[in-house]
Amino acid sequence: MTEEAMLQVLEEHHRAIEAGLSEIRRHCGTASPCSRELGAAREQLTAASLARSRFVSEQVVPSLLKEADDDLRTELAELLYATAAKRMLSNGHIKAWTTSSIEADWSGYCAAAKVIWPMMEQQIERERRVLISRLKQG
């Protein structure tokens, strides 16, 4: 896959995650959960985030490592570490907030989600800074 193609795919992943975050935010702006719609939105966001993580770790990073200097290697290693750590936090959030626990504590779920959203947005920004800038150089 060319760097230009990787850039396009990565940007598509980012847009899908941002759309998913917007949808969950919309749900949290309501007085009570619509469990079926929220569940579908959560599944889509989880799938988009996981697909992005896999794409980054299996396609983008290996491609960039081929000609990386020491500074870029360090940045890529730090990015992969941050991705894994954030994935663990996300997985914990998903496991803790089942449909029944969300229905029982809607405001608690929304408060917990508001902690996760910036983490996901920061990861996208980090990828844009580290990966997209490099892919555009290629």
Is pLDDT above 80 for 40?
yes
Determine the Cα–Cα distance for residues 29 and 106; give it in Å rounded to an integer.
Answer: 11
**What pLDDT score does 137 carry?**
84
Higher pLDDT among residues 130 and 138, named by residue: 130
Is pLDDT above 80 for 138?
no
Q: Write down the pTM of the prediction.
A: 0.93
Burial degree of 121 (CB within 10 A; 0-12, 13-18, 19+) = middle
List, for residues 117-129, the tens digit of each pLDDT value: 999 999 999 999 9
List of domains in the chain:
3-137 (1.20.120)
Of the candidates 27, 5, 49, which has an alpha carbon nearest to the alpha carbon of residue 110? 27
**What pLDDT score does 26 carry?**
98
Is pLDDT above 90 for 24?
yes
**What pLDDT score does 20 carry?**
98
**What pLDDT score does 74 carry?**
97
Mapping DSSP onto H, E and C, the string for 57-126 reads HHHHHHHHHCCCCHHHHHHHHHHHHHHHHHHHHHHHHHHHCCHHHHHHCHHHHHHHHHHHHHHHHHHHHH
Segment 125-138 mean pLDDT: 90
**What pLDDT score does 133 carry?**
86
List, for residues 43-101, the tens digit of each pLDDT value: 999 999 999 999 999 999 999 999 999 999 999 999 999 999 999 999 999 999 999 99
